[in-house]
Amino acid sequence: MKKFVSFRPIAALVILTISVTGCGNKQPSSGSADKVPTDHSSGKPVDAATAGSVTGKILFTGVLPQNKTINMIDVPNCAKLHSEPVMTEGAVAGDNGTLQNVVVYLQGDFSAYSFPPAAAPVQVDQQGCIYIPHVVAVMTGDPLQVTSKDAVTHNINAMSQLHQGWNETQMPGGPSIVKRFAQEEIPMTVKCNMHPWMRFYLAVVDHPYFQVTGKDGQFALRNVPPGTYTLTAWHETFGTKKQTIVIQPKQEQTVSITYTDQDHP
Tell me the pLDDT tens digit for each residue of 191-206.
999 999 999 999 999 9
Q: Are 216 and 94 in contact (CB under 8 A)?
A: yes
Q: 14-51, pLDDT tens digit by residue?
A: 444 433 333 333 443 444 445 556 789 889 999 999 99
Count Cβ neighbours within 10 Å for each residue of 212-248 and write b for 16 or more, e otherwise: bbbeebbbebeebbbeebebbbbbbbbeebeeebebe
Q: Is 150 exposed, middle or buried (0-12, 13-18, 19+ CB in 10 A)?
A: buried
pLDDT at 41: 87
φ and ψ at 14, to 5 degrees? -65, -45
Cα of 46 vs its chain's centroid, Å: 26
Interior angle at CA 70, CA 67 and CA 75, nearest 5 = 165
Query: When comparing pLDDT for 41 and 214, which is higher?
Result: 214
Q: 87-132, pLDDT tens digit by residue?
A: 999 999 999 999 999 999 999 999 999 999 999 999 999 999 999 9
Q: 58-76, pLDDT tens digit by residue?
A: 999 999 999 999 999 999 9
